[in-house]
Amino acid sequence: MKTIIVKLTKAGPTTGPFDIISNGETLASNISRKKLIEGISLLVTDTQKLITIKSVGKCKLEKTFPLDSFTIVDYASSKFTQTTTACMWRHLTNIRIYNDFYGTIEPYILEYPFSFKYQDEIIQSIQDYTKVYTYLPLTTHIFTDNTRIETNQYYFNKAVLYNAQQSTGLLELVPKPINNLLQYNSYPKYNNSSKTITFTKSDNFYQFNTFWALQKNSQVPLFLSSCQSLSIDKEINQENMNYTNLSFKKVTMRAKDLKVRLIFDNRNDMHLVSQFFLNSSQISYK
């Protein structure tokens, strides 16, 4: 038996975690990218001459090296280099699958900014003309609109409304219960890190309201920098949000501007095509 040290010297941003394999035997599994960059030690036998580093996360890659390819001097001088071509991804090979990358559903995010006139305005409701399509399997291998069906019960599943000093926190959107007043009256629902509200579709507009400012302190950041994905530029500062039933302390979303962030991340079989976006507001007089 002998001890070897395995160290990652070059990889893309989406690689990892890793399995370490030799002669069909898994020596280590689910090793994080950070840990492998620092280097890990493993025990191998004299018959094991090759070692394979296999990325088992979103980006599936593997590479095999001889065990004697690095000397002690090489190891000591080796530094990690991040590449930008970790692996190849083919887009739109299946018209029935969207916002799905490397077998994982990734968030589809749209953000609409609004700027009001001289006086502050209070946001009352949101209207969005978005078409949500689902696709049938192709029978002729040629795409036509005949394979496309527009639905009414699906929409963005999350939303965040905010300005410079106010935030609604995370709003989870669900369709309004039909012919069930008891279930409808159970909304809004207050969760540990979100509030669940309903949306409706009427005259081809998706609409939702039942939102107000939930930040605890307007002098504390409403968002934090995200570290989970380069496509998600901000995360809600949940420590500064109060997701409780504020029966008599509902503060309206009131300012000279507003941003509405819509998020779709709970399924990959819907195609959302946004046309235009409206808001219902009223002038706020002091």
167 — pLDDT class (breaks 50, 70, 90): very high
**What is the average pLDDT score of the chain?**
83
Model confidence pTM above 0.95: no
Task: Give dist(CA 161, CA 170) in Å, integer.
Answer: 8
Give the residue extent of every domain in the chain: 2-82, 100-283
More confident residue, 41 or 116: 41
DSSP state string for 57-100: SSSEEEEEEETTS--HHHHHH---EE-S-S-----SSSTT--SE
Q: 67-89 pLDDT, tens per residue? A: 776 666 676 777 888 776 545 66
Is the dihedral angle over the CA atoms 92, 94, 95, 99 positive or is it negative? negative
Task: Give dist(CA 201, CA 155) in Å, integer.
Answer: 9
Is residue 271's pLDDT more than 80?
A: yes
Do the Cβ atoms of 256 and 115 come closer than 8 Å? yes
The per-residue pLDDT for 171 is 95
Mean pLDDT of 134-151: 76
Is residue 42's pLDDT more than 70?
A: yes
The per-residue pLDDT for 229 is 57
The radius of gyration of the chain's CA atoms, rounded to the nearest angstrom, is 25
The per-residue pLDDT for 159 is 94
Q: 45-65 pLDDT, tens per residue? A: 878 888 889 888 877 788 888
Do the Cβ atoms of 230 and 206 come closer than 8 Å? no
Q: Which of 257, 263, 238, 248 is nearest to 168 (CA)?
A: 238
More confident residue, 88 or 6: 6
